[in-house]
């Protein structure tokens, strides 16, 4: 059975950094993509970043470009999201999701088949 587990969330001051991890297990096919999404209170879940674990293609939401970096350790089946220069508006529950994604649709929640339980990121001003 496929599982995704996020970790690394916490409380940080504005301008600080955090690294999130998404550990996958139980996948019989190794060519899945991973996306990171976030959901702030009262808001829709939004796409943050995506990585094609096979060719290492990546993409980012405009709001995080230049501040967040996604990477993958395929041997460990773990994807990381390094978040620098954090802002209060980055406060949200962050989720990772897995699926077999067309690059042009990475930002669409419905394209993903499996989701983690989420990890809270809080950025204080």
pLDDT tens profile 33-55 = 999 999 999 999 999 999 999 99
SS3 of the chain: helix, strand, coil, percent, to 5: 10, 50, 40
Is residue 30 pLDDT above 90, yes or no?
no
> Could you tell me which residue, 30 or 120, shows the higher pLDDT?
120
Q: Using CA atoms, how far apart are residues 109 and 76, in angstroms rounded to an integer?
A: 25
In this predicted structure, what is the pLDDT of residue 72?
97
Q: What do you get for the CA distance between the two ends of the chain, in Å?
A: 40
């Amino acid at each position: 059975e496929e599982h995704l587990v996020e970790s690394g969330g916490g409380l940080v001051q504005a301008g600080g950094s955090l690294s999130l991890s998404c550990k996958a297990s139980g996948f019989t096919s190794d060519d899945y993509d991973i996306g990171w999404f976030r959901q702030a209170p009262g808001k829709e879940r939004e796409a943050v970043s995506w990585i094609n674990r096979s060719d290492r293609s990546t993409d980012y939401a405009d709001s995080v470009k230049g501040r967040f970096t996604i990477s993958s350790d395929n041997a460990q089946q773990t994807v990381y999201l390094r978040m620098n220069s954090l802002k209060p508006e980055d406060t949200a529950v962050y989720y990772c999701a897995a699926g077999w994604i067309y690059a042009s649709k990475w930002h669409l929640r419905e394209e993903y088949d499996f989701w983690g339980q989420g990890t809270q990121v809080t950025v204080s001003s």
